[in-house]
A and B are shown apart, each in its own frame.
Chain A
Amino acid sequence: MKIKEIDLKKVKPYGDALDDGKIQFSFTLPVPYGDEAKECAKRYLELLGFENVMITHMDKMGLGFSFFIAYGVANKTIDFTSIVVPKATKEVWDKHTIVEKIEKDLGRKIVVVGACIESDAHTVGIDAILNMKGIAGHKGLESYHGIEVYNLGAQVPSEEVIAFAKKVNADVILISQIVTQKDVHIANMTKFIELLEAEKLRDKVLTVAGGPRITHELALELGFDAGFSVGTFPEDVATFILQSLLKKKNDKRI
């Protein structure tokens, strides 16, 4: 049987047939449970431009709140071929290659300092990248021959991280931010970069930010050299660091 061909210039959501435009929703409205609530939820999705809206589930949540699960059909299409996402690295090397290149091409050890700064107490991310154990079978940077790691842990003031980085002559500072309520991560990261600039270290040290709500683009915007999000493995970060340091080394030579 012949099926429609996908036009990457005109993409829309796929439910169980090409271009059916189906999207699922779940949301809450601050209105009391009842028929009016259901109709209100339906009309709201229609207002957003969805067609054939179905409220498939509605539940009462305490006093004056209703919860909905719904489906709707989207009409708009998007040009997939026009999408460009900035990335920290083009090509990711494996651990073996990285260790080899550090020794042969860079010819010196790399000093990495990492911390969850300011109010953030969640070290899951920084630990996954730095600690020996790593994450999902990918060993952390501590296990890399040629990389010296200092993981300063949770709630470290930016001032302390920078002072420590100075002391150990760090090549790279890794900043982890997991809590993002009220954009506290933006405030923390901005403060860090400002302090780094005040210390005239901004151009001497590579800065890398990581966290579930951090993109490479956001990190660049805030003045970092790179940003990594969920799904990042230690080798992704190590590759970026090494590629940057190698580039610096070559630039100097020229």
Chain B
Amino acid sequence: MKINSVKSKLDLDKKIIDESRDYAKEIVEDVQKFIDLRSTSSVERAVLRLFGVEWYSEEQQLPYVNIIVDKLINDNLISRGSTYYLVNGLLRTGLPLKEFCDNIVSGKISFKSIEPLDFEVVKKKAMDMALSSSEKIEQNVVKRNQMIKDYGEGQPPYLYLIVATGNIYEDVVQAQNAARSGADIIAVIRSTAQSLLDYVPHGATTEGFGGTYATQENFRIMRNALDEVSKEVGKYIRLVNYCSGLCMPEIAALGALERLDVMLNDSMYGILFRDINMQRTFVDQYFSRMINSFAEIVINTGEDNYLTTSDAFEKAHTVLASELINEQFALKAYMPQRLMGLGHAFEIDPDIENQFLYELAQAQMIKEIFPNSPLKYMPPTKFMTGNIFRGHVQDALFNAVSIMSGQTIHLLGMLTEAIHTPFMMDRHLSLENAKMVFKTMRNISDEIEFKKDGIISNRAKKVLNDAHNLLKEITKKGLMESISEGIFADIKRSLDGGKGFNGVFIKDDNYLNPFEKIFIEKLKMRNPQFS
């Protein structure tokens, strides 16, 4: 993604920024030690999916990967990871992958009954298999780059639109038309509560609530539809889905295999907003991000959500603090800044005098602190009402801040935000609004400077200072303790509480995940900052 460069003009204290980053690093390193010792059921399922286990058991109404990992858990074998037993089984039985999995799923073969081969022998075979899978993902990266070269792409702020009909085929009609109206990025909103399913649904789906299920087949259908319309409109249209919830690493694997371009992926969102266990989330986000990074998928973090529950004016610093933490988590997963779409939002109450100035201050500040990241800027939602005319003005103000502060991924505000999932005409009007504001104000950022010690500059400094103090406080207690005290979004979560905790396990000394090894090695070569 192209990232606009914006001059520094807020006179922020570099020392405070650097110190804040150091605190964030310290906070994350503490959690990373915890992560490194553990894996989860969904990480192991993601590994199996990367090996190509994409089948579904109609009889048991579950994906193969769930059935296989559940068997490993029940047999007390999981601490070595799913790879060892899969590959050992393949070597011992000589069966092809599908047939071997069929036998495991039907119960004809049990993992326990297969004689274990020497660890090194299994490891070598596993590395070979993983290498060939990861080459498929690398081919997707090459293909994406080639298509961007052939068709071109939009320019930042990229116009990001949502489709959410519940029916993937209806989504295709809406997504293609949105692209024809000018969208650069299409997100298929997931069905409400998919994040709490501990499996990924299977096949093409035509029913959902408030969105469409994320499945491998739905990913394929939409990818093909967008490739088709990319050719027609003469620019590469990017596809987004949600790499969050209990199946975070699996969705990452599917997105990498089916060439998605952007994934919502946050290190803490699930903990706070979906009450998913924090240990589970921290471990899952690590492997997810590594997969995303390897597939050159831009992640979008979810800080904007904090402001839908906390006050956007009083709690602006929690967004910055969380972005700094998200940045460090991503770095730990070998993700370069150019793939980190850190999130923030335009959510200050429009009844506050000078609201626009404060929003501009925050957006500009975040841009200056993360100049090399493709920031994701979210539109007003909390203060949108049934008055769609007022809403259209609020969205215009949001559009103005975005172009003035050089945001990269611009999620379009909908005038009907408070009413329903967007109609086709809502999208059309919103696109028209954003395109007009961006066009008429294209170079405004180069033209303006902010008054020294004015409202904007002082606001930015205050938010930075508050974030600095908050991070300092978190380093003392640790991140997990801080979350349990409700430091983000005023929501409290405990270490062992929430959903999915039973899927977390400690890794054996002989634990094997060949993808992790390959990804790290290749990511180091691809991104010199990690070598």
A residues apposed to B, CB below 8 Å: 26-28, 59, 61-63, 65, 67, 118-121, 123-124, 127, 131, 133, 136, 153-155, 179-182, 184, 212, 230
Q: Is B274's CB within 8 Å of the partner chain A?
A: yes
Per-position 1/0 for B481-505, Cβ under 8 A of A? 0000000001100000000000000
Whole-angstrom distance between the Cβ of A26 and the nearest chain B Cβ: 7
Whole-angstrom distance between the Cβ of A180 and the nearest chain B Cβ: 8
A120 to B421, CA, bound (A): 14
B residues apposed to A, CB below 8 Å: 166, 176-178, 180-181, 192-193, 196, 209-210, 273-275, 308-309, 311, 349, 351, 382, 385-386, 418-421, 423-425, 428-429, 432, 490-491
| Contact call B386/A230, Cβ cutoff below 8 A | yes
Residues of B within 8 A of A153 (CB): 275, 491
A161 to B193, CA, bound (A): 17
| Contact call B428/A59, Cβ cutoff below 8 A | yes
| Contact call A119/B424, Cβ cutoff below 8 A | no
Q: Write 7 A-B pairs (CB below 8 A) sorted by A numbering.
A: A59-B432, A62-B178, A67-B429, A119-B193, A133-B311, A154-B273, A181-B420
A28 to B422, CA, bound (A): 13
A26 to B389, CA, bound (A): 12
Residues of A within 8 A of B351 (CB): 136
- The main secondary structure of chain A at its interface with chain B is loop
Residues of A within 8 A of B349 (CB): 136
Residues of A within 8 A of B423 (CB): 28
Closest residue on chain A to residue B196 by CB atoms: A155
Whole-angstrom distance between the Cβ of B422 and the nearest chain A Cβ: 12
The listed residue (A62, A120, A136, A179) touching B181 by CB distance below 8 A is: A62
| Contact call B419/A212, Cβ cutoff below 8 A | yes
| Contact call A179/B192, Cβ cutoff below 8 A | yes
| Contact call A184/B210, Cβ cutoff below 8 A | yes
8 closest Cβ pairs, A-B complex = A62-B177, A62-B180, A119-B192, A119-B193, A28-B425, A67-B425, A181-B210, A61-B428
| Contact call A119/B311, Cβ cutoff below 8 A | no
Residues of B within 8 A of A182 (CB): 166, 209
A-B pairs with CB below 8 Å: how many?
A: 75
* Contact A121 to B177, CB < 8 A, known contacts A59-B428, A182-B166, A212-B418: no
Closest residue on chain B to residue A230 by CB atoms: B386
- Among B192, B274, B386, B423, the most chain A Cβ lie within 10 Å of the Cβ of B192
Residues of A within 8 A of B311 (CB): 133
| Contact call B192/A121, Cβ cutoff below 8 A | yes
Residues of B within 8 A of A28 (CB): 423-425
A243 to B178, CA, bound (A): 50
| Contact call B385/A65, Cβ cutoff below 8 A | no
| Contact call A61/B419, Cβ cutoff below 8 A | no
A27 to B428, CA, bound (A): 12
| Contact call B209/A62, Cβ cutoff below 8 A | no
Whole-angstrom distance between the Cβ of B168 and the nearest chain A Cβ: 16
* Contact A121 to B308, CB < 8 A, known contacts A63-B180, A67-B425, A212-B418: no
Residues of A within 8 A of B429 (CB): 67
Residues of A within 8 A of B386 (CB): 212, 230
Residues of A within 8 A of B176 (CB): 62-63
A230 to B491, CA, bound (A): 24
Residues of B within 8 A of A212 (CB): 386, 418-419
A61 to B490, CA, bound (A): 42
Residues of B within 8 A of A123 (CB): 309
Given contacts A62-B177, A184-B210, 15 further A-B contacts (CB under 8 A): A28-B423, A28-B424, A62-B176, A65-B177, A67-B425, A119-B192, A119-B210, A121-B274, A133-B311, A179-B210, A181-B209, A182-B209, A184-B192, A212-B418, A230-B386
Residues of B within 8 A of A63 (CB): 176-177, 180
- Among A121, A131, A180, the most chain B Cβ lie within 10 Å of the Cβ of A121
The listed residue (B196, B425, B491) touching A26 by CB distance below 8 A is: B425
A231 to B369, CA, bound (A): 38
* Contact A230 to B385, CB < 8 A, known contacts A27-B425, A153-B491: yes
Whole-angstrom distance between the Cβ of B189 and the nearest chain A Cβ: 10
A29 to B418, CA, bound (A): 23
A61 to B182, CA, bound (A): 10
Whole-angstrom distance between the Cβ of B120 and the nearest chain A Cβ: 46
A205 to B177, CA, bound (A): 49
Residues of A within 8 A of B180 (CB): 62-63
A59 to B430, CA, bound (A): 13
Closest residue on chain A to residue B194 by CB atoms: A119
Residues of B within 8 A of A61 (CB): 177, 181, 424-425, 428
Residues of A within 8 A of B421 (CB): 181
A152 to B114, CA, bound (A): 47
A63 to B181, CA, bound (A): 10
Residues of B within 8 A of A119 (CB): 192-193, 209-210
Residues of A within 8 A of B308 (CB): 124
Residues of A within 8 A of B166 (CB): 181-182
A124 to B275, CA, bound (A): 16
Whole-angstrom distance between the Cβ of B252 and the nearest chain A Cβ: 21
Closest residue on chain A to residue B308 by CB atoms: A124
Whole-angstrom distance between the Cβ of A72 and the nearest chain B Cβ: 18
Residues of A within 8 A of B420 (CB): 180-181
A181 to B191, CA, bound (A): 11
Closest residue on chain A to residue B418 by CB atoms: A212
| Contact call B193/A65, Cβ cutoff below 8 A | no
A131 to B166, CA, bound (A): 32
Whole-angstrom distance between the Cβ of B195 and the nearest chain A Cβ: 8
Residues of A within 8 A of B425 (CB): 26-28, 61, 67
A120 to B181, CA, bound (A): 31
Residues of B within 8 A of A184 (CB): 192, 209-210
A218 to B20, CA, bound (A): 51
Residues of B within 8 A of A180 (CB): 420
Residues of B within 8 A of A65 (CB): 177, 424
Closest residue on chain B to residue A27 by CB atoms: B425
Residues of B within 8 A of A179 (CB): 192, 209-210
Residues of B within 8 A of A67 (CB): 424-425, 428-429
Whole-angstrom distance between the Cβ of A160 and the nearest chain B Cβ: 11
Closest residue on chain B to residue A156 by CB atoms: B275
Whole-angstrom distance between the Cβ of B387 and the nearest chain A Cβ: 10
Closest residue on chain B to residue A128 by CB atoms: B382
Closest residue on chain A to residue B175 by CB atoms: A62
Residues of A within 8 A of B385 (CB): 230
